[in-house]
Amino acid sequence: MLVPDLLVVSELFPPAIGGSAVLLSEIYRRLHGHSVSVLTDETTSPGPDGDDGHAFSIQRRAIATRAWGLVNPAGALHHFEVGVRIRRMTNRRRSVVHCGRAIPEGIAAWMSRQMYGAPYVVWCHGEDISTALTSRELTWVMTRVVRGAAAVIANSLSTRGLLLPLGIPEERIHVVYPGVDPDRFHPGVDGSVLRRSLLRGGNALLLSVGRLQRRKGHDLVIDAMARLKSLLPGLRYVIVGDGEEKASLERLVLSHGLADRVTFVGAVSDNALPAYFAACDVFAMPNRREGADIEGFGIVFLEAAASGKPAIGGNSGGAPEAIDPEKTGLLVSGHDAGELADAVARLSRNAGERAAFGSAARTRVLARFTWEHAAAKVAAIHAAVAAGT
């Protein structure tokens, strides 16, 4: 078996849905000049082994676990067995392991390193750190994993701020923002047919895209829609995505009498997604912190920006880095329906401001937030780690 110079270990990888799966696939397929292999889970990320047609080969094995700590003997054994697999797939003189998260994937890489295995790099996304910090055991484990890493990649300055108290040398923490493909998401995408089907006789379209989780703030948008019933009777709200909050959100829509103004589309294919951004007037995800659950960044903000659309986000987590307030969109608290209603009304009524924000948003994406930018930073981090082995 060919020993890769870079091994990506992640429970989540396409076809799995989610921001981290997309991030890893989009970045590592662009690390040209490297032999890249992927170790992912056979159940959460199903598919065949072998070359997937991009720049890497994939092995799908039973690496997923809910036992993230080490106190549980079964969990500790699982991490050890995955660590042994990592050790076998790499060569400590040539390979670097890149972990999709500090926990749980980083635990196996840390164990492999103790067996004189390859050095490793860990990605941190925000909610993984805040969740671990709610448990003394997971805090202890995560601290060992990130301190043992040759480099730690944070997806935002917000996430970096969560890492600093753990005692990691600052020079080992690198901020690499997620990206977007501006050739897929762009103002020239034709969303006119879709727009007509979604407007239901209205004249303005508000869009949310993402898993239906409380931290995303879909409920706040629905509450804001209720406040705008008389002020903006032509406003329609479209929700793309699925998740555990769907039934609760549907009940909220009915309680507000908004069944004719709110549409639940469900999950859509990657190919269909650009047309939804093209069809909308304003993108909204007023994210907030829910306990330990935070929005580490929000790739959907970049997809809206690349499409030339203004965004409304929550002033929490990495969203203030994804949106340049009063230039590419607006930030709200994520807790006040009246404040959000004012922001939605402002952008819905002002086509000139929407156009200015959307144009500035796409310019900003092209300058800083493409997958090529992210891949170049990861390639430099990898090269520095490999040179030190």
Reply yes or no on whether the pLDDT at 83 is more than 80. Answer: yes
- Report the 10 Å Cβ neighbour count for 380: 12
Compute and round to an integer the Cα radius of gyration of the chain. 21
- Which pLDDT band holds residue 50 (cuts at 50, 70, 90)? confident
* Separation CA 299–CA 155 (nearest Å): 10
Strands (E), 255-370: 262-266, 282-285, 311-314, 329-332
- By CB atoms closer than 10 A (0-12, 13-18, 19+), residue 338 is exposed
Measure CA 140 to chain center: 25
Structure tokens at 280: 């909308």
Structure tokens at 231: 């002020």
Confidence at residue 292, expressed as pLDDT on a 0 to 100 scale: 83
Q: What average pLDDT score do residues 189-213 get?
A: 96
* Separation CA 333–CA 337 (nearest Å): 9
Residue 293 per-residue DSSP state: B
Reply yes or no on whether the pLDDT at 52 is more than 80. Answer: no
- Report the 10 Å Cβ neighbour count for 83: 22
Identify which has the larger pLDDT, 91 or 278.
278
Q: For the chain, how many helices (H) and strands (E)? A: 15, 14
Give backbone dihedrals phi and psi of 16, rounded to 5 degrees, phi first. -55, 145
Reply yes or no on whether the pLDDT at 3 is more than 80. Answer: no
pLDDT of 176-189, one tens digit each? Answer: 999 999 999 999 99
Lowest mean pLDDT among 28-32, 303-307, 353-357: 28-32
- Which pLDDT band holds residue 1 (cuts at 50, 70, 90)? very low
Q: What average pLDDT score do residues 16-20 get?
A: 82
Max CA distance (Å), the chain: 67
Question: What's the 3-state SS for 185-254?
Answer: CCCCCCCHHHHHHHHCCCCEEEEEECCCCHHHCHHHHHHHHHHCCCCCCCEEEEEECCCCCHHHHHHHHH
Q: All domains of the chain, ordered by start, with CATH?
A: 6-179+370-387 (3.40.50.2000), 192-368 (3.40.50.2000)
* Separation CA 226–CA 206 (nearest Å): 13
Lowest mean pLDDT among 1-5, 188-192, 342-346: 1-5
pLDDT of 359-377, one tens digit each? Answer: 999 999 999 999 999 999 9
* Separation CA 206–CA 225 (nearest Å): 10
Task: Give the chain's mean pLDDT.
Answer: 94
With a pLDDT cut of 70, the percent of the chain lying above it is 97
Confidence at residue 54, expressed as pLDDT on a 0 to 100 scale: 63
Confidence at residue 69, expressed as pLDDT on a 0 to 100 scale: 87
pLDDT of 119-135, one tens digit each? Answer: 999 999 998 999 999 99
pTM attached to this predicted model: 0.93
Confidence at residue 49, expressed as pLDDT on a 0 to 100 scale: 87
